[in-house]
């Protein structure tokens, strides 16, 4: 089999297993989240969210940089993986000890005394993540994505059941804390039993230095990205209170959950696949274009439909006490609709080894966004969310700019490629939203809106002879033929 054919097979298999894992994870997580939101008050979510802002920033040190460097490197060996593994263990231990010592001061800064014990327990996720980071990098590099399925589902089911049990027993905030910690712990344990790689008794500062040279730029970029994203809910939590912070974060969480189903699948598969083609620029351009068009075709209608159905859906699923999250939810639906374009462009840049360019882009974007934040913060949380939307839309051109040079695939060409999808999604959303203007019960409204939206989108795709629609049909036909073939 040719190299290109082998790569296509790996991409298809990787996408299938990654999609199966993420779809199962999102369905389970959605059910658990809805039940917990009905059992717990927004205030409790705000308390835990303040801690997860800090742990998310610390996890960037664990999950970015070195792991991406291992994936990008053409032929990493056991010495590379083992060196990064031992370095991560020591580094994560130091991070946790620092968090443990600083937790009283951080609780004082965040104006929440209850954070000290929560921070010290939830901070253990940083320590545990150090044990699985290199295992995950190995799976992604070798594109054995089926191995993620058991670990992800096992951790999600166990932690969800534990969280619901503790919430029913009246543990409040601690139900959320132990849910998150147990998820990471069980996920890590299962991954260690299913992944064949084990660290060897070897270490090289020279190898580590080479990986660090590439990875530190991605680490810096990720710190800017995550730090900037997390500063919004943190400012809202300190200035407006825990409940408003929870509304903002849940408004972000739900569209991100739907978006994550496609985008985490693509992100996990794209970088290792693109790295194999880093010297074939025409092939890399076609992969980038396919990722943008196909990803947008799947994500944009989901985000448009979600925004149109937001109010009856939130009221029915998690009760009227969470309705203040609806305006945030609609704003984030627009933001996440363009994630495929962001992701494909940035993965192409990383795949060709231009981590310096990646870092420069992040500095430019975060500088622009900092100015917008300074302007909007005085006008309240809704103005901040709208400012974030404007910044993210401006980032589309910034992320696409280098690929005009690298791949001869400019921002204008990319926008032309997704324009049919954008227009069709807007038409579908407008039709769906009109149903919510009636005085029908929420359940009946949704039963009309969802099939109506799906039908309009599919019929419109067929009438337009949409490229991505035809591509998906071809994949389905190919899968059916493969399923009918007799086993040898």
378 CB neighbour count, 10 Å cutoff: 8
Q: How much is the pLDDT for 15?
A: 61
Contact 19, 265 (CB under 8 A): yes
pLDDT beyond 90 at 281: no
pLDDT tens column, 229-278: 778 888 888 888 888 888 998 888 888 876 666 666 555 455 455 555 55
Q: How much is the pLDDT for 61?
A: 74
- What is the CA 306 to chain-centroid distance, rounded? 17
Report the C-alpha gap between 256 and 276 in whole angstroms.
29
Nearest to 289, CA basis, from 190, 395, 179, 417: 417
Placement of tokens 């600083």 in the chain: 102
132: buried, middle or exposed (CB in 10 Å: 19+, 13-18, 0-12)? Answer: buried
Quickly state the pLDDT bin for 92 (edges 50, 70, 90). confident
pLDDT beyond 50 at 102: yes
Nearest to 465, CA basis, from 425, 405, 420: 420
DSSP at 486: P
Quickly state the pLDDT bin for 175 (edges 50, 70, 90). very high
Report the C-alpha gap between 175 and 32 in whole angstroms.
12
From its phi and psi, is residue 470 left (phi > 0), alpha (psi between -120 and 50) or beta?
A: alpha
287 CB neighbour count, 10 Å cutoff: 22
pLDDT beyond 50 at 205: yes
DSSP SS3 for 41: coil
Question: Which residues lie below 8 Å from residue 40, measured CB to CB, with a gap of 6+?
Answer: 167, 172, 175, 176
Residue ranges covered by each domain of the chain: 14-203, 242-354+393-481
- What is the CA 57 to chain-centroid distance, rounded? 15
């Amino acid at each position: 089999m040719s190299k290109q054919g082998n790569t296509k097979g790996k991409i298809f298999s990787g996408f299938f297993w990654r999609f199966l894992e993420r779809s199962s994870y999102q369905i389970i997580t959605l059910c658990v989240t809805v039940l917990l939101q009905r059992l717990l008050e927004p205030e409790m979510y705000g308390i835990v969210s303040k801690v997860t802002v800090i742990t998310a920033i610390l996890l960037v040190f664990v999950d970015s940089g070195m792991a991406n460097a291992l994936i990008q490197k053409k032929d990493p060996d056991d010495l590379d993986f083992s060196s990064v593994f031992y370095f991560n263990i020591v580094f994560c231990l130091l991070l946790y000890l620092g968090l443990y010592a600083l937790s009283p001061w951080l609780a004082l800064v965040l104006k929440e005394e209850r954070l000290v014990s929560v921070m010290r327990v939830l901070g253990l996720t940083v320590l545990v993540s150090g044990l699985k980071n290199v295992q995950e990098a190995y799976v992604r590099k070798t594109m054995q994505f089926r191995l993620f399925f058991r670990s992800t589902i096992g951790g999600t089911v166990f932690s969800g059941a534990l969280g619901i049990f503790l919430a029913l027993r009246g543990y409040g905030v601690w139900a959320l804390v132990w849910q998150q910690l147990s998820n990471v712990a069980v996920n890590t344990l299962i991954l260690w039993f299913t992944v064949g790689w084990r660290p060897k008794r070897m270490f090289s500062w020279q190898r580590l230095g080479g990986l660090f040279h590439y990875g530190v730029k991605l680490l810096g970029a990720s710190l800017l990205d995550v730090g900037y994203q997390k500063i919004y809910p943190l400012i809202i939590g300190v200035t407006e209170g825990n409940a408003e912070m929870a509304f903002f974060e849940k408004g972000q969480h739900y569209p991100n959950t739907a978006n994550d189903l496609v985008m985490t699948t693509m992100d996990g598969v794209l970088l290792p696949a693109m790295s194999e083609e880093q010297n074939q620029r025409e092939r890399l351009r076609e992969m980038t274009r396919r990722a943008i068009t196909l990803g947008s075709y799947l994500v944009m209608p989901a985000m448009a439909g979600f925004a149109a159905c937001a109010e009856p859906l939130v009221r029915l699923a998690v009760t009227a006490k969470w309705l203040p999250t609806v305006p945030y939810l609609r704003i984030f639906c627009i933001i996440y609709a363009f994630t495929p374009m962001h992701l494909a462009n940035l993965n192409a840049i990383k795949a060709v080894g231009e981590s310096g360019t990646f870092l420069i882009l992040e500095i430019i974007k975060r500088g622009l966004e900092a100015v917008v934040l300074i302007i909007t913060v005085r006008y309240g949380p809704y103005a901040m969310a709208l400012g974030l939307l404007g910044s993210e839309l401006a980032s589309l051109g910034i992320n696409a700019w280098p690929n005009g040079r690298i791949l001869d695939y400019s921002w204008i060409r990319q926008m032309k490629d997704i324009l049919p999808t954008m227009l069709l999604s807007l038409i579908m959303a407008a039709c769906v939203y009109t149903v919510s203007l009636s005085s029908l019960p929420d359940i009946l409204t949704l039963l009309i809106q969802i099939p109506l939206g799906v039908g309009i989108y599919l019929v419109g795709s067929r009438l337009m002879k949409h490229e991505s629609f035809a591509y998906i049909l071809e994949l389905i036909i190919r899968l059916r033929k493969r399923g009918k073939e007799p086993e040898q």
